[in-house]
Structures are given as structure tokens and as C-alpha cells.
Structure 1
Amino acid sequence: MKKFRGKKRYFRHLWRETSAEQYDIDFGKEGWFDMWHIHLDLFGLGNQSVKVRREHIKAQIALYQSLLDKHGTLEKPYQSWIELVDEDAGLDSIYIHTPNPNEDNFPLKIANINWNCLIPKDFEDLLNLNEFYIGHYKCESNNNYIIQSKNNRVQL
């Protein structure tokens, strides 16, 4: 694998993306989300080292909390969560989901989530268990972790 050059610049740019104002998201009366999501580590750089992965997870938590603050203006029920895929950092994402005209799939239910799971040591210290529910489920051959706020949520 090639050496990861320009880390300082890359992470400075990444942290600029952790504000909800960076995204053109309509939280008004007419706004709706059909599994809207964003991948902060689109290229899977977190697969190269635990340190890089942890920095991406911190950024995702910061963006998630920023989005939750903006959800206060959303006048309809919603679901939002962070999904971390153990095997591929490029699949880590933040989701927002509401009732929508595309499909009758709200509230979304993910089968077989274990809300009493062990949290991987790589990121257990990044999560405040007083603020978040942490769940685990398997999808195909991937281990997926769900991080969902204990406030303002419709459970998955």
C-alpha cells in the first residue's frame, strides 16, 4: 500500500466537514430523507491504520451530533444513526431517514441487532455510553455496528 501523504491537510479538511452547515440538507416542513447517508472515509483510508480509523470515527461522531442539533427543526419523526462496518472503513456512514414519498419504509427495522454487544476496543473509548446506544448485527459477511443517540430517536 502507498504511504498516506498529506495527513495534516487531509484531516484539517475532514474536520471542516463535521458541521451540518456544510451540507445542503432541508430540515423544513417539506424536507424528507430516504436513507440519506454520507461516508466521511469514502476511500477507506481508515483500513490502513487504527489511528486513521479512529480519527474518522471521531469526525463522524462530531458530524452526527451536529446533525442531531439541526434535527430539532425537523417537524416529523426521524431515525438517525452512525453505521460502522468492521471490515471496511469506506462503508462507515451517517444516516438520516424519515417518512418519504419514495417508499413506505419508515420506521426502518434492522433485524437481529444485538443492543448488548461488546464494543470493539479500537473505538470503545470514543463513545459515551450515557449518550449512545451501541448495537451489532451481521450483514452478509460484515460485522456492522450501529451507534444511535439516546435522545431524539425512533429506534431501529
Structure 2
Amino acid sequence: MKKFRGKKRYFQNLWRETKVEQFDLDFGKEGWFDLWHTHLDFYGFGNKRLRIRREHIKAYIALFYDLLEELQTLGKPYQSWIEIVDEDTSLDAIYIHTPNPNADNFPLKIENLKWNCNVPKYLKDIIDLKDFNVGHYKWESYNSYIIQSKNNELEL
């Protein structure tokens, strides 16, 4: 594996990109989201080192707080969550889902999702369990953790 060079600049850019203004959440008159999501670690740099992964998770949480504040003005029901995939950081993402014309899949229910699971050690000091619920489910061979706000949204 090649050495990860330019970490300082990479993380400066990452934190700059986590500002909600960078995302076009145009609610408009008929604003809707059909499992809209974004990956901050698209290339899977967090797979190389836990420290890099934790920095990405901190960025997801900061962006998630901003998106939740923005979603308060949506004026319709929504679901939003962060998904952390143990085996591959490039699959980590933030999701927003609302009733939409593409499919009758709202509210979304994830089968086998178990809330109040054991939170992985690398997440424990990053996630404030007063603000968030953490759930776990297995998808194919992946272990996925769902982080969802306790306030103002429909549970998965």
C-alpha cells in the first residue's frame, strides 16, 4: 500500500467540505429525498488507520448535526442517519429519506436492525449517546452500525 501523503491538507479539505452549504439540499416546493446519501471517505482512506477512520466519523457527525438543523425547515416527515460499515470505510455514509415519487418505500425499515447494541470501542468516545441511538445489523458479510438522532425523525 502506498503511503498516505498530504494528510494535513486532506483533512483541512474534508472539514471544509462538511459544511452544509456544500450540499444542494434544495427543498423547493416538492422537495424530497429517495435514500439520498453522501460518502466523505469515498476512497476508503480510513481502512488504513483507525485514527484516519475516527477523523472521518467526527466529520460525519459534524455534518449530520448541520443537516439535522437544515432538515427542520423541510416541513415534512423524514428519516436521516449515519451508516458506519465496519469492514469498509468507503461504504460509510449519511442518508436522508422522505416520501418520494420514485417508490413507496417511506418510512424505510431495515430488517434485523437491533437498537441498543454494544457500541464498538472506536465509536464510544465520538458518539454522544444522549443525542443518538446506535443500532447494528448485518448485511451480507458486512457489520453496519446506524447512528440516528433521538429527536425529530422517524426511526428506521
Shorter-chain TM-score: which interval? over 0.9
Trace 1:3-152 onto structure 2 (pairs within 5 A).
Answer: 3-152=3-152
Alpha-carbon deviation of 1:30? Answer: 1.3
Q: Does the 8 Å CA contact 1:29/1:75 hold for their aligned counterparts?
A: no
- Stretches of 4+ moved more than 2 A in 1? none
The size of the alignment, in residue pairs, is 156
Alpha-carbon deviation of 1:26? Answer: 1.1
Alpha-carbon deviation of 1:19? Answer: 1.4
Q: Deviations over 1:64-110 (max 9, x none)?
A: 11100100110110000000000000000000000000000000000
Q: Which amino acid aligns with 1:45?
A: F
Q: Does the 8 Å CA contact 1:58/1:126 hold for their aligned counterparts?
A: yes
Alpha-carbon deviation of 1:149? Answer: 0.3
The sequence identity of aligned pairs, in percent, is: 67
Alpha-carbon deviation of 1:18? Answer: 1.3
Q: Deviations over 1:40-63 (max 9, x none)?
A: 000000000000000000000000
Q: Which amino acid aligns with 2:72?
A: G
Gaps of 5+ in 2: none
Q: Which amino acid aligns with 1:93?
A: A
SS in 2 for 1:126: coil
Q: Deviations over 1:101-125 (max 9, x none)?
A: 0000000000111112111101211
Q: Deviations over 1:7-36 (max 9, x none)?
A: 000000000111111111112331100000
So what's the TM-score if we normalise by structure 1? 0.98
Q: Does the 8 Å CA contact 2:116/2:135 hold for their aligned counterparts?
A: yes
Q: Distance in 1 between matches of 2:43 and 2:57?
A: 14
Q: Does the 8 Å CA contact 1:28/1:75 hold for their aligned counterparts?
A: no
RMSD: 0.7
